[in-house]
Structure 1
Amino acid sequence: MKFKSLKKVLLASLTLTLLLGVGATASAGYKLSDEVTTATPALLAATEIGLKTNENPALAALPNKDAILVMSFGTTFTDTRAKTIDATVNAIKANHPGVKVVTAFTSHIIIDRIKAKEGITYPTPEEALAQLKAEGYSRVAMASLDIIPGIEYDYKNAVYQTHKNNFKKATFSTPLMYWQGQEGQADDITATMEALSTQFPKLGKNDAVLVMAHGTPHPANAYYAVMQDRLEEMGHDNVLIFSVEGWPHLETVIPKLKAKGIKNVTLMPLMMVAGDHANNDMAGDEPDSFKSILEKEGFKVSAYVHGLGENPAVQKLFVDKAEQAWDALQAK
């Protein structure tokens, strides 16, 4: 029976490949088979996954003038912004001396609050691209500091799709976790969980780490289940993921903690920055904070209030993603 089931899967996969002509290439993305010569715009759009590249033939005569745009949701927490977003952007800059690197935030509320409080003006991605074009930049590599390909990443992709033909060439990288080890692709999930594990404390049999993700109504919320699977494959049986606004909830994992006989819990955020969610929802002293809820359930709780961007191993993964966009920009 197992052989017959596998045969059906292989046949279905082969049928799909023949119909779409889709084949895996480098870990950066996919492309249509060379045998597909009459692909419709809809088919091209549907198979444009992974790292994206666009060239506008109408602007081919323009001289190359390259820039990098790094996009983030942003944060009003000055200290964590310096340690996470700024530190990552500076690492990207260090790899490209003499290249213009611009940071843009997608949250208009955060942009307004930073301007009012600190006198610093961050552009939106749309404003940043318009300014780059006005300054004569003809090619731009766009990078995202998103964790998963959810709503925020979709917004940045929409910005890329809307503005890509304003430039001679434009590229757009994938978020921290995108590929899941499909044939011919990298396993971003395992790489990220390995990087995350460098900040885990030493755990005894009665100890656990709860990793707090943001959560989303977007189907990309399913990534959390894949992360949990990878953690278990790596032997981190007492590390559990829960989310603020998605699934699994804290209430989902508390029974699991009790079933394992866990007494001591370390909370840590699975977020680029340690902002409001990490400081208040997770580690705050209010009765409805996750720390307080766990304490009421009888657990001894400590909090690791540091954004992923502070983790050197995670930061390197973000820099590598930006490098993929840059390499695609330079490719002939």
Structure 2
Amino acid sequence: MKKWEKLLAAGLFCTAVAGFYNPAAEAAYQLNPEVKNATMALKTASEIGVLTNENKDLANLQNKDAIVVMTFGTTFKDTRMKTIDATVNAIKAAHPGVKVVTAYTSHIIIDRVAKNEGIKFPTPEEALDQLKAEGYSRVALVSLDVIPGMEYNYDMGVYQNYKNQFKKMTLGTSLMYWQGQAEQPDDVTETIKALATQFPKQGKHDAILIMAHGTPQVSNAYYSVIQAKIDELGYKNVYVYTVEGWPSLETVMPKLKANGIKNVTLMPMMMVAGDHANNDMAGSDPDSHKSILEKAGYTVTPYIHGIGENKAVQALYVERANDAWQALEAPSK
């Protein structure tokens, strides 16, 4: 019996929510209609993929729709314009005439940007409170997170806390969510191919180290999947490591030595090229990744650009936004 057939037996079934530009459907899950008296635990277990909630008590409200794009944010103005702002603008272009709000999940960054630049980005909660006050009744929540880690948990918390305050609310997935399991889309492979459009040409003695953030949450295991997919796709001497998780730089350095690598390109797998990219990765301090590698005898070239600058990656984020929007616009059940 297939894995998802077992889930069917447990009272779950899969329904496809098609993206505007992606013929491969983005999957979501909901309870099997044969389940008449689902417990809260079973309802929670069915919340996978693009999430959708309809409040029947507000069914008579007129449809007034908006999109809230949630991102951690950055204090680096230049990279913000090239990454977050550019990605949000791409989402706006795909949804002309729709109100699109950018919300920061980092309250510290919100305060610092407000102090240094006089720009006040709302938290997702503030953005939703304002939309409700303005009479918006249906909201698609969009995430600019890379994997469904701790930051994506914040997004899910916002969805759970606010879903019944609106007639309808949806939450899209992170950039990488599905892994091609059980006939689901392979977001990881899609993302790696998009990221590869910025890879430099490599010789026998060259390597690319992709710096991810890392998370103490169990989703840190995504980095093992990413590495496996990189190897499966045939990219040679391309390794993922993390700033605050596993694998670390020390984990991958023995692979460089074993493969006779002399030249290393460092690049972040983060929406923006902020503090981690400029300081932890490419800084001049002795404990920066660049300094550590140079001390070990490697020639190091930092690529200080957030993945939000990559047009192919932007297109994937637009697809994720489209998935959330399509679920919002789907007929009521």
Provide TM-score, normalisation by structure 1.
0.95
1:187 is aligned to 186
1:305 is aligned to 304
Report the count of equivalent residues: 322
Contact 1:25 1:184 in 2 (8 A): no
Aligned residue for 1:242, secondary structure, equals: strand
Contact 1:108 1:124 in 2 (8 A): yes
1:5 is aligned to none
Q: Where do residues 141-290 of structure 1 align in structure 2 (5 Å cutoff)?
A: 141-290=140-289
2:13 is aligned to 23
Contact 1:24 1:183 in 2 (8 A): no
**Aligned-residue offset at 1:22:** 2.4
**Aligned-residue offset at 1:13:** 6.5
**Aligned-residue offset at 1:35:** 2.8
1:98 is aligned to 97
Aligned residue for 2:191, secondary structure, equals: helix
Contact 2:175 2:191 in 1 (8 A): yes
2:79 is aligned to 80
**Aligned-residue offset at 1:45:** 0.9
Change (3 A) 1:13 1:132: closer
Amino acid at match of 1:232: D
Which consecutive residues of structure 2, in runs of 5 or more, have no partner in the other structure? 17-25
What is the rounded CA distance, in whole Å, between the counterparts of 2:129 and 2:84 in structure 1? 22
Aligned residue for 1:235, secondary structure, equals: coil
**Aligned-residue offset at 1:29:** 1.0
CA deviation profile, 1:180-204 (whole Å, cap 9, x unmatched):
1122310000000000111100111
Aligned residue for 1:209, secondary structure, equals: strand
Contact 2:72 2:151 in 1 (8 A): yes
2:58 is aligned to 59
What is the rounded CA distance, in whole Å, between the counterparts of 2:66 and 2:2 in structure 1? 45
Amino acid at match of 2:251: T
What is the rounded CA distance, in whole Å, between the counterparts of 2:15 and 2:138 in structure 1? 24
**Aligned-residue offset at 1:179:** 0.4
Runs of 4+ in 1 over 6 A off after TM superposition: none
2:21 is aligned to none
2:23 is aligned to none
Which consecutive residues of structure 1, in runs of 5 or more, have no partner in the other structure? 1-9
**Aligned-residue offset at 1:34:** 3.0
Aligned residue for 2:89, secondary structure, equals: helix
**Aligned-residue offset at 1:16:** 4.8
The CA RMSD measured in Å over matched residues stands at 1.2
**Aligned-residue offset at 1:91:** 0.8
Of all paired residues, the percent bearing the same amino acid is 66
**Aligned-residue offset at 1:47:** 1.3
